[in-house]
């Protein structure tokens, strides 16, 4: 391997189908969703479908995001003492800074509010990553750098996002991104939070999921462009991730993607892999967790990783080597190569 792999040691999830990682992953495995009518209407006056986190308290706005994020982080850090938590950098993934209806107006203030909610401060190398879908891969890249250069032994990566916001939904509907009574080629909005605790890959008595490769690129023919789709950006990101992992595409056994609705993402995913794949395969599964939890924005990448970890632990994954990839509407693309290391490896 050309780089030091990262081990995904713990996970935490808060989604519309579960308030923790086990329940969320079980629901996704069983193809259970929580799509219901929301309090929002489309331009035709029909109720929009959505997937809300089932909190008993009526939290709204930034407070709701804080509660989701804090719950996911607490699940991930369960059992760790205060000193260990404070010695751990937090890389907090949020929505793109210019997204319409973005709930968080001040990233630094939101980060401080999260620390207050949790009752302790994180390591000074903590930071906010406001890159939408690709934030998870960007955060893992930073985590690897921190572990290699800053002397930290573990890094916490967390994300929270919500698309169930009037201004966000109106903008998405205007651009034909939203599933409505007038548009069948769109996504169902959702919300959620996720967290991962990552460490350097080393011998462990139990099995562990490791990220071996990361790749990044930009797609010129993004969904808002008028250029013909060739999936150049995603193809480049996948090739870079394979190169970073020091392996060929032949090891890949299935993939998990961030597609949440609409034809574009599925076409791009299929086209990009066809340009990389040189192996005769009898099957190659494609998982897309958004089918159950809706479009959850910046949280989706960490959800995908948590789903993969649980699938490997419970032996229902489609193999031990998986490709994960992410994409933003502005053209940014990211790809990740994960492998499952059995107990003692």
219-271 pLDDT, tens per residue? 998 888 888 999 999 999 999 999 999 999 999 999 999 999 889 999 999 99
Measure CA 335 to chain center. Answer: 11
Q: What angle, 0 to 180 degrees and rounded to 10, lies between the N-to-C axes of helices 21-29 and 300-313?
A: 80
The residue extents of the domains of the chain are 6-200, 208-341
Q: What average pLDDT does the structure give for the chain?
A: 95
119 φ, ψ to 5°? 90, 15
By residue count, the chain amounts to: 345
* Amino acid 258: pLDDT: 97
Can you give the C-alpha Rg of the chain in angstroms? 19
CATH architecture designation of domain 6-200: 3-Layer(aba) Sandwich (3.40)
| C-alpha torsion 111→117→119→125, nearest 10 | -10
Ordered DSSP codes for 112-141: HHHHHHHTS---TT-EEE--GGGHHHHHHH
Could you tell me the two tokens for 248? 């060929």
C-alpha 87/C-alpha 89 separation (Å) is 7
C-alpha 36/C-alpha 39 separation (Å) is 10
Residue 117's CB is within 10 A of a number of other CB atoms, namely 15
* Amino acid 321: pLDDT: 97
C-alpha 259/C-alpha 288 separation (Å) is 6
CATH superfamily, region 208-341 = Thiolase/Chalcone synthase (3.40.47.10)
Q: Which of 190, 185, 194 is nearest to 295 (CA)?
A: 190
pTM of the complete model: 0.97
Q: What is the pLDDT of residues 136-178, one digit of tens each?
A: 999 999 999 999 998 899 999 999 999 999 999 999 999 999 9
Whether the Cβ atoms of residue 169 and residue 189 lie closer than 8 Å to each other? yes
Q: Determine if residue 184 is left, alpha or beta; phi over 0 gives left, psi from -120 to 50 gives alpha, anything else beta.
A: alpha
What average pLDDT does range 282-300 have in this prediction?
96
* Amino acid 1: pLDDT: 40
Name 6's bridge partners.
Answer: 200, 211
Q: What is the pLDDT of residues 168-226, one digit of tens each?
A: 999 999 999 999 999 999 999 999 999 999 999 998 888 999 999 999 999 998 888 88
Fold agreement (6-200, 208-341):
yes
What average pLDDT does range 277-288 have in this prediction?
93
- Is residue 344 predicted with pLDDT exceeding 90? no
* Amino acid 2: pLDDT: 52
C-alpha 217/C-alpha 237 separation (Å) is 5
């Amino acid at each position: 391997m050309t780089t030091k792999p990262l081990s995904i040691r713990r996970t935490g999830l808060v989604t519309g189908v579960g308030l923790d990682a086990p329940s969320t992953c079980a629901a996704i495995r069983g193809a259970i969703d929580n799509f219901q009518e929301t309090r929002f209407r489309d331009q035709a006056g029909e109720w929009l479908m959505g997937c809300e986190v089932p909190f008993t308290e009526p939290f709204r706005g930034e407070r709701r995001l804080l509660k989701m994020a804090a719950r996911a982080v607490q699940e991930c850090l369960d059992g760790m003492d205060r000193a260990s938590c404070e010695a751990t950098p937090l890389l907090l993934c949020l929505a793109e800074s210019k997204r319409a209806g973005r709930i968080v107006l001040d990233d630094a203030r939101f980060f401080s509010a999260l620390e207050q909610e949790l009752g302790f401060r994180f390591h000074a190398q903590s930071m906010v990553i406001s890159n939408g879908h690709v934030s998870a891969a960007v955060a893992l890249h930073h985590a690897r750098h921190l572990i290699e250069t800053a002397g930290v032994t573990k890094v916490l990566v967390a994300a929270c996002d919500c698309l169930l916001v009037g201004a966000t939904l109106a903008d998405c509907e205007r651009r034909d991104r939203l599933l409505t009574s007038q548009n069948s080629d769109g996504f169902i909005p959702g919300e959620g939070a996720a967290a991962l605790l990552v460490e350097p890959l080393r011998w462990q008595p139990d099995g562990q999921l490791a990220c071996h490769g990361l790749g990044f690129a930009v797609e010129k023919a993004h969904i808002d462009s008028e250029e013909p789709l060739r999936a150049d950006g995603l193809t480049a990101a996948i090739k870079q991730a394979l190169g970073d992992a020091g392996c060929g595409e032949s090891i890949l056994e299935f993939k998990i993607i961030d597609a949440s609705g609409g034809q574009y993402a599925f076409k791009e995913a299929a086209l990009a892999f066809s340009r990389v794949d040189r192996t005769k395969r009898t099957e190659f599964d494609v998982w897309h967790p958004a089918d159950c939890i809706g479009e959850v924005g910046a949280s989706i990448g960490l959800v995908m990783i948590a789903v993969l970890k649980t699938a490997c632990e419970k032996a229902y994954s489609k193999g031990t080597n998986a490709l994960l990839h992410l994409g933003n509407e502005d053209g940014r693309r990211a790809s990740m190569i994960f492998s499952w290391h059995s107990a003692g490896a």
